[in-house]
Structure 1
Amino acid sequence: MVLEATIPLPNVGGRIDHMAVDLAHDRLFVAELGNGTVDSIDIARRKRSGRITGLKEPQGIGYLPARDMIVVASAGDGSVRLYAGATLMPAGTVDLGDDADNVRIDTATGTVLVGYGAGSIAVIDPARPAKIGDLPLRAHPEGFRYDVSAGRLYVNVPDRQQIDVLDRGTGRQIAAWSSPDMRSNYPMALDGAAGRIAVGYRSPARLVEMKAADGTVTGSIPLCDDTDDVSFDAKRSRYYVSCGEGAVDVINRTPDGLVHRDRIKTASGARTSLFVPELDRLFVAARAGWFGGDAAILVFRPAS
């Protein structure tokens, strides 16, 4: 990985959470949890182009290209707020009540899926906007992925040390996979074409790959500490795992299993990232330094 650019985020303090991309307008949206803001970044010009303020711990974020709409989920007040992409003006609010977290877009229906509360994934119609359904779980969901072709959601539920599998059509749980020796499963990546999911555990720090059909483990490898995002690069059959210790682990899937290719130094606390295959770039969010220095988005280009 080559560090291609550093995009400064002035006046951003505290933890930075997840990101989303608008390919049509070349924008990156950054949920700045500790700052109560969302920044819109002009990727080509490598600078901030706008800001949403007044949020309470924004952590999950998504983008609806058909509507040019940004979706922001906030932990502090349990809200899901929608904004017009062109102006960043408010376009509606859905109150979920508690710990609104990760956001995923259901591309088949145009609805928004948001994990929240003590155990549920809300189904939101952005056109109204309103919650139109709930997919129940037994504890708070962290990272999750939706395989549209299979009609399945794979959900990390760390408080129960398991991965729940839900049928999107019925909303019912159809499987639960766990390993008694693995804890704190937060990020997840999906390779739908190969029928695999990969889960990042923090205790012990490992990336575990498994078959999406039945949870059979196909690979397991040590990781950097305090992981919070993992992305799959289908072109190179490779995972990028960002960790709060200040590193990105590059892990290849090979015929012989998972192979650690490289460890890229980032910055302490830079645990969230987003790989955008259409741009062939990995964006890593680095929080402001304890002893000075602006927060920033680190832009990495795969060298091979």
Structure 2
Amino acid sequence: MPRVGPLLFVLCLALAGPASAAVQSPLQLESEIPLGSVRGRIDHFAVDIQRKRLFTAELGNDGISIIDLNERRLLRTITGLREPQGLAYVASTDTLYVANGGDGSVRLFRGSNLEPAGRIELGTDADNIRVDPQSGHILVGYGNGALAIIDRDTRRKIDDIPLIGHPESFELDPAQARVFVNVPDANEVAVVDLAEKRQVASLPLNNLHANFPLAIDPDEHQVLTVTRSPPRLVAFSTRDGSQTGVVRTCGDADDLFVDAKRQRVYVSCGQGAIDVFVRRDEVYAFLARIPTRAGARTSLYVPELDRLFVALRARGGAPASIRIFRPEP
């Protein structure tokens, strides 16, 4: 299949002319759940599918919100953390992992009551967390440049994979034992070999900077990242590392998800919007912009629930909340 060069910004809905007003939004607001007196920055999410619970990292409040998705309400808050950022729930051990940027620790909570179950010291700035479905290991980005590998059973750090800068969002390639890691300080997406536990390649961003969110489109064998300066959605081939597309998107993006069912991409931005793109072969074309609220840059798309969750910070007179969007059709 021929490679596609840098793409022009495509306003697909505009091509429909006056009839575009009748086009149904690709994301329908289903409900909004207030978070109470939450102030400051809200970071990442995790979900317990079986119990239908959503976990939200309240970095500015040093806590974790636990939300009942059946009743659409806040259940309680875990307090006493230090700038919680990354979250991961591991169903096989019924454990919630919480990475704390303030003290570099990973705290563990287990069971239906989320009782404290341990603490792993990484050093500084513990951030994003992912779970390796093959080994069951927990990967945590932290410090000035490393991915920590934590054993699920012993709950201990067993190894480090060095990087040349602090890792932001990263994802495991389901087709190969590789991890694609955003390293904004190096202006690149690092390619890590899990078996060798080292970086084996780099996908340079050149004149694009501040790459924070990242996702993998396994059907198209592409890794996607979003830069903030300027705001662009960038695609690379996971096969040979070539850049396959660049498209304008909303500003101050922090999360990015692929909806494989609909061949869409969702980008949540602190500018106060979610940008929706549709995939046509290797081309990601702009489909719609859904307004949210300034600062609402954190989101989570859960394919098992077919819902997109977006965290809205308290702003002006509006309290912090979680908006739940249902993709359509």
Which range, TM-score by smaller chain? over 0.9
Does residue 143 in structure 1 map to residue 169 in structure 2?
A: yes
Does residue 14 in structure 1 map to residue 40 in structure 2?
A: yes
Matching residue of 1:73: 99
Q: What is the deviation of 1:256?
A: 6.9
* Larger gyration radius, structure 1 or structure 2: 2
Aligned equivalent of 2:317, options 292, 295, 299? 292
Between structures 1 and 2, the one with greater strand share: 1
Structure 1's unaligned 5+ residue stretches are: none
Q: Deviations along 1:121-141, whole A, 9 cap, x unmatched?
A: 000113222100101101100
Q: What is the deviation of 1:255?
A: 3.2
Matching residue of 1:241: 267
Does residue 193 in structure 1 map to residue 219 in structure 2?
A: yes
Percent sequence identity over aligned pairs? 49
Aligned equivalent of 1:39, options 61, 65, 76? 65
| Rounded Cα–Cα distance in structure 2 between residues aligned with 1:77 and 1:196 | 35
Matching residue of 2:11: none
1:73 maps to a residue whose letter is: A
Q: Deviations along 1:204-225, whole A, 9 cap, x unmatched?
A: 1000111112221222110100
Q: Kindly indicate whether structure 1 or structure 2 has the higher relative contact order, using CA contacts under 8 Å at least 6 residues apart.
A: 2
Matching residue of 1:131: 157
Q: What is the deviation of 1:292?
A: 2.1
Matching residue of 1:275: 301
| Rounded Cα–Cα distance in structure 1 between residues aligned with 2:314 and 2:240 | 42
| Rounded Cα–Cα distance in structure 1 between residues aligned with 2:236 and 2:318 | 40
Q: What is the deviation of 1:298?
A: 0.5
Matching residue of 1:155: 181
Could you tell me the TM-score, scaled by structure 1's length?
Answer: 0.98
Matching residue of 1:49: 75
1:261 maps to a residue whose letter is: L
| Rounded Cα–Cα distance in structure 2 between residues aligned with 1:193 and 1:170 | 26
Q: Deviations along 1:93-128, whole A, 9 cap, x unmatched?
A: 000010000000111111110000010000011322
* Conserved? CA contact 2:250–2:274, under 8 Å: yes
1:190 maps to a residue whose letter is: I
Q: Secondary structure at the match of 2:185?
A: helix
Q: What is the deviation of 1:47?
A: 0.5
* Conserved? CA contact 1:50–1:88, under 8 Å: no
2:264 maps to a residue whose letter is: R
Of residues 27-36 and 189-198 in structure 1, the stretch that sits farther from structure 2 once superposed is 189-198
| Rounded Cα–Cα distance in structure 2 between residues aligned with 1:122 and 1:246 | 33
Does residue 168 in structure 1 map to residue 191 in structure 2?
A: no
2:77 maps to a residue whose letter is: R
2:33 maps to a residue whose letter is: I
* Conserved? CA contact 1:281–1:300, under 8 Å: yes
| Rounded Cα–Cα distance in structure 1 between residues aligned with 2:76 and 2:93 | 19
Does residue 228 in structure 1 map to residue 254 in structure 2?
A: yes
Could you tell me the TM-score, scaled by structure 2's length?
Answer: 0.90
Q: 1:17 to 1:256 in 2, by over 3 A?
A: closer
Q: 1:190 to 1:85 in 2, by over 3 A?
A: farther
Does residue 99 in structure 1 map to residue 125 in structure 2?
A: yes
Q: Deviations along 1:186-206, whole A, 9 cap, x unmatched?
A: 000112233111101101100
Structure 2's unaligned 5+ residue stretches are: 1-26
Instruction: Count residues in correspondence.
Output: 303
* Conserved? CA contact 1:83–1:92, under 8 Å: yes
